[in-house]
């Protein structure tokens, strides 16, 4: 099994990634760390906890960053709704006692599991960047990092060049990519090929369970938003679940090694490119995905998530 921390900013496809990871027998989900991103961090924490409860999983959730390292963040509700889950849960009225921080959990688990630990990130890289700043030794400990983010060969989705998770906190991404962490970048280049359709989501609703209807409600919101921007696509991209899929089964993707760089100049802010000028004695430890076995992934994702919604 893969010992995993999932770092999310839940977010509709993050919710699907949580459901998928928790339902995967090949994954030992140690905990979920959350940050701001698609909604403020109190919301992403609440959303993640509600998703886990709805599926009857008892997995701890740890609260992380509430803003980017050096920038401000505004929320517009695009794609995920103002509550982060397609307006299915609405406003928060109270916040829980959060306990251990996401950063401390990441550091603790890196020391405990070392090379056996896989970290999957599906939001901005702020939590991971803060963990590295607090304890740089974790860079040599962690076995693998799988990051949903970036757009190397295709256009961005948050600007002409940049993907959302990277442009939200480009300084955090640059800090993480500059290290020698063994990163697999699951970018828009491959996530745009794994599409969930309206017919798929209808199957969740037709299960007739409460959790099936809940998942159908928020995913239909995402499908509708997708149609606005990409009317020619057959469905919505499963960005975040694909990162979980690649962590489970690296053979799902073809990769090439690359020193990844994040543009910090305003006119190309957040673009992920190759660092051609990086002088380094070693080979890159990062890889970018260039091809994906989309059908194989979709079968595994859909099968496990649908089953977890009960009969």
| Chain mean position to CA 122 | 1
Per-residue CA distances from 119 to 78, 93, 228 (Å)? 27, 31, 33
Q: Is 152 helix (H, G, I), strand (E, B) or coil?
A: coil
Pick 14 or 174: Cβ nearer ligand BDR: 14
Q: Provide the sign of the torsion angle of the four alpha carbons 170, 176, 177, 183, taken in this order.
A: negative
Pick 118 or 122: Cβ nearer Ca ion: 122
Smallest separation (angstroms) from ligand BDR to the CB of 163:
5
In angstroms, rounded to a whole number, what is the distance separating the alpha carbons of residues 275 and 229? 31
- Residues in region 232-291 near Ca ion by CB under 5 A: 240
Instruction: Select the residue whose beta carbon is closest to ligand BDR and give its number.
Output: 164
Q: Is 186 helix (H, G, I), strand (E, B) or coil?
A: strand
Q: Is 11 in the site for Ca ion (CB under 5 A)?
A: yes
- Chain residues binding ligand BDR by CB under 6 A are 11, 13-14, 38, 79, 122-123, 148, 157, 163-165, 239-240
* Residue 9 annotated in active site: yes
Which string of x and - marks every residue 86-105 that binds Ca ion (by CB under 5 A)?
A: --------------------
Pick 23 or 120: Cβ nearer ligand BDR: 120
Cβ neighbors of 125 (< 8 A, separation 6 or more) are: 147, 149, 165, 166, 169, 172, 173, 175, 176
Q: Is 163 in the site for Ca ion (CB under 5 A)?
A: no
Smallest separation (angstroms) from Ca ion to the CB of 291:
22
Spatial contact of 22 and 32, defined as CB atoms under 8 Å apart: no
Cβ neighbors of 160 (< 8 A, separation 6 or more) are: none
Q: Is 169 in the site for Ca ion (CB under 5 A)?
A: no
Q: Is 123 in the site for Ca ion (CB under 5 A)?
A: yes
End-to-end CA distance of the chain: 27
Binds 157: which of Ca ion, ligand BDR, none (CB < 5-8 Å by kind): ligand BDR
β-sheet bridge partners, residue 147: 121, 185
Pick 163 or 293: Cβ nearer ligand BDR: 163
Q: Which residues bind Ca ion (CB under 5 A)?
A: 9, 11, 14, 122-123, 240
* Residues annotated as catalytic (active site), given as ranges: 9
């Amino acid at each position: 099994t893969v010992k995993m921390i999932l770092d999310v900013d839940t977010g509709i496809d993050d919710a699907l990634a949580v459901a998928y990871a928790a339902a995967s027998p090949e994954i030992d989900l140690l905990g979920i760390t959350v940050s701001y991103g698609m909604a403020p961090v109190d919301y992403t924490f609440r959303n993640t906890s509600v998703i886990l409860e709805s599926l009857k999983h008892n997995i701890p959730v740890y609260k992380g960053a509430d803003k980017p390292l050096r920038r401000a963040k505004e929320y517009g509700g695009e794609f995920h709704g103002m509550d982060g889950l397609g307006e299915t849960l609405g406003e928060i009225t109270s916040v829980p006692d959060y306990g251990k921080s996401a950063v401390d959990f990441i550091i603790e688990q890196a020391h405990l599991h070392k090379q056996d630990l896989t970290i999957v990130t599906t939001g901005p890289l702020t939590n991971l960047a803060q963990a590295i700043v607090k304890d740089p030794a974790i860079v040599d400990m962690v076995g693998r990092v799988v990051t949903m983010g970036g757009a190397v060969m295709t256009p961005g989705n948050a600007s002409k060049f940049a993907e959302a998770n990277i442009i939200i906190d480009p300084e955090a991404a640059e800090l993480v990519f500059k290290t020698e962490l063994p990163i697999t970048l699951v970018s828009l280049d491959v996530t745009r090929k794994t599409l969930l359709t309206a017919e798929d989501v209808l199957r969740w609703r037709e299960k007739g369970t409460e959790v099936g209807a809940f998942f159908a409600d928020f995913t239909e919101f995402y499908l509708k938003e997708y149609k606005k921007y990409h009317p020619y696509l057959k469905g919505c991209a499963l960005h975040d679940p694909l990162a979980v899929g690649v962590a489970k089964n690296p053979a799902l993707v073809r990769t090439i090694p690359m020193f990844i760089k994040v543009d910090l100049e305003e006119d190309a802010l957040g673009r992920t490119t190759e660092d051609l000028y990086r002088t380094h004695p070693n080979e890159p430890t990062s890889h970018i995905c260039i091809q994906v076995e989309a059908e194989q992934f979709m079968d595994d994702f859909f099968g496990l998530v649908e089953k977890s919604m009960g009969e």
